[in-house]
Structure 1
Amino acid sequence: MGRNTWLPLYRRLVLGLSLPVDAEALRGKVALHFSDTPSTFYGVMRRLIRFFEPQCIVHTGDLADDVKLEIRPGELPLYRRKLMELTSVLSSVQKSRIVLVTGNHDHEESVREFFPDSSVIIKSGRIEMCGLDFNLSHEPEGLQTPYGHFNLFGHAPVPEEAPSQGQVFLNGLYAIHVLRVDTGEVLALEYPGYVNDARLNKRRVGL
């Protein structure tokens, strides 16, 4: 069996999702974008981070999406335990190179407590990181105008707009985005099926 045949299977078994055969060439050259991540996905997040060795990470909210604080505020202790787990997941990335946008199920004070040296953006904002200009929001309608070059969001299953006039819109609910920092190219990786299943459940209890 040739390398190009077994390598995708190996990566699916080891990393938890499929990657292009040439993905290794992106190592150390990218920013990673996540959004709306249940803690059941943290293991794959950790392996992706180890694989790509990203220069920075952007998360557009609902950091522990299996804990619905907006619906069940009494689950704050559980949420905080999940955040502690997430700090370990992100530990290989320089803390100042991590950007976290708070979502509707996040607790601002806890996020700031667990990530004191990272950039925490409340709901929406702009930031330059890894040489890229990001316009960030948890909810798509919260993106600031005029739009930026990279407009990243999550929360709702709305279509990504086609790039126009140098503007790129990326919905982290649909895919993990691997952004090459030197060229601006974007690789979209499909979430594992169990993440989508969790999000279908989320629709029943509230976004």
Structure 2
Amino acid sequence: MKLMSNMRSRVLSLFNYPYIPKELLEESRGPILMHISDTPKGVYSYIFRIASILKPDYIIHTGDMADDIKLECNTSKIASYVSEVKTLIEGLEKNENSKIYYVLGNHDDYETVNRLSKKGTILQDEIITINNCKFRVSHYYEECPSNIDYNLYGHNIKPGHYKKEGTVGLNGVLNINIIDLGSKRVFHLDYPIGTNCLRLIEPRRISL
């Protein structure tokens, strides 16, 4: 069953369409939280489509909002960064009922995000409470106290998702993570095929 789901997900992503499990669509209690991280421009429309289908109550982006720019290493590309982040923020904030958190990464610019966002909350490394659950949100992974329910991070493909002493750790680089806060169930949705190439963390394949 899982193999079939994985195959279906990969095929759909070729057409820029996400595979969303039937259980998530039909059995969720809500509220729904969507966690994303390290997003290159090429995945924006895919993320917007997921948000339009699931209508999440909360969206948390754990940094590097235009990850194909690598702004920290390419400060001269600030104009391209502004253009891409504008597209991302406008797309996310079209979800009128979503509370949105932007947790800035090393390739983000505070002034740009603050100027462009109309409804988002900008964070760094903080602990927040959502629906009576405690979240540690940061661009970077760190171990956290056992009273934290969810540890959300990005930046690197390691460490992966984990469960330890009552804390669920979710890496937003690996998946688009969906939390059903009513049932505490977590769903890992795939990014489109080729996302890591767009992030510049995998070499592009050259066809002969």
Q: Could you tell me which residue of structure 2 aligns to residue 22 of structure 1?
A: 23
Higher relative contact order (CA 8 A, sep 6+): 2
In structure 1, stretches of 5+ residues that fail to align are: none
Q: Secondary structure at the match of 1:92?
A: coil
Q: Secondary structure at the match of 2:164?
A: coil
- Map 1:186-197 to 2 at 5 A: 186-197=186-197
Q: Give the Cα–Cα distance (whole angstroms) in 2 for the partners of residues 27 and 67 of structure 1.
A: 37
How far off its partner does 1:36 sit?
0.3
After TM superposition, the score normalised by the length of structure 1 is: 0.83
In structure 2, stretches of 5+ residues that fail to align are: 204-208
2:176 equivalent to 1:176: yes
Give the AA of the match of 1:69: L
Q: Give the Cα–Cα distance (whole angstroms) in 1 for the partners of residues 155 and 69 of structure 2.
A: 14
How far off its partner does 1:96 sit?
7.0
- Map 1:118-197 to 2 at 5 A: 118-122=120-124, 124-141=125-142, 145=145, 148-160=148-160, 162-197=162-197
* Structure 1 residues 101 and 87: alpha-carbon distance in aligned structure 2, compared to 1, 3 A threshold: same
* Structure 1 residues 129 and 115: alpha-carbon distance in aligned structure 2, compared to 1, 3 A threshold: farther
Q: Give the Cα–Cα distance (whole angstroms) in 1 for the partners of residues 175 and 40 of structure 2.
A: 14
Q: Could you tell me which residue of structure 1 aligns to residue 39 of structure 2?
A: 37
Identity of aligned residues (%): 29
Q: Could you tell me which residue of structure 1 aligns to residue 206 of structure 2?
A: none
* Structure 1 residues 89 and 103: alpha-carbon distance in aligned structure 2, compared to 1, 3 A threshold: same
- Map 1:11-90 to 2 at 5 A: 12=12, 16-25=17-26, 26=28, 29-90=31-92
* Structure (1 or 2) with the greater helix fraction: 1
Q: Secondary structure at the match of 2:83?
A: helix
* Structure 1 residues 155 and 30: alpha-carbon distance in aligned structure 2, compared to 1, 3 A threshold: same
How far off its partner does 1:182 sit?
0.8
Q: Secondary structure at the match of 1:158?
A: coil
Query: Are the aligned partners of 2:31 and 2:57 in contact in 1 as well (CA < 8 Å)?
Result: yes
How far off its partner does 1:158 sit?
1.0
Q: Give the Cα–Cα distance (whole angstroms) in 1 for the partners of residues 32 and 118 of structure 2.
A: 23
Q: Secondary structure at the match of 1:140?
A: coil
Q: Secondary structure at the match of 1:40?
A: helix
How far off its partner does 1:28 sit?
5.8
Aligned residues: 195
Q: Give the Cα–Cα distance (whole angstroms) in 1 for the partners of residues 175 and 130 of structure 2.
A: 20
Q: Give the Cα–Cα distance (whole angstroms) in 1 for the partners of residues 39 and 161 of structure 2.
A: 22
Query: Are the aligned partners of 2:38 and 2:66 in contact in 1 as well (CA < 8 Å)?
Result: yes
How far off its partner does 1:43 sit?
0.5
Q: Give the Cα–Cα distance (whole angstroms) in 1 for the partners of residues 196 and 42 of structure 2.
A: 11
Q: Give the Cα–Cα distance (whole angstroms) in 1 for the partners of residues 60 and 19 of structure 2.
A: 21
Give the AA of the match of 2:150: F
Which whole-Å deviations, capped at 9, do the CAs of 1:151-205 have from their partners, x for residues lacking one? 0000012133631222110001111101001121100012111212223x2468x
Q: Give the Cα–Cα distance (whole angstroms) in 2 for the partners of residues 131 and 172 of structure 1.
A: 22
Q: Secondary structure at the match of 1:163?
A: strand
RMSD: 2.6
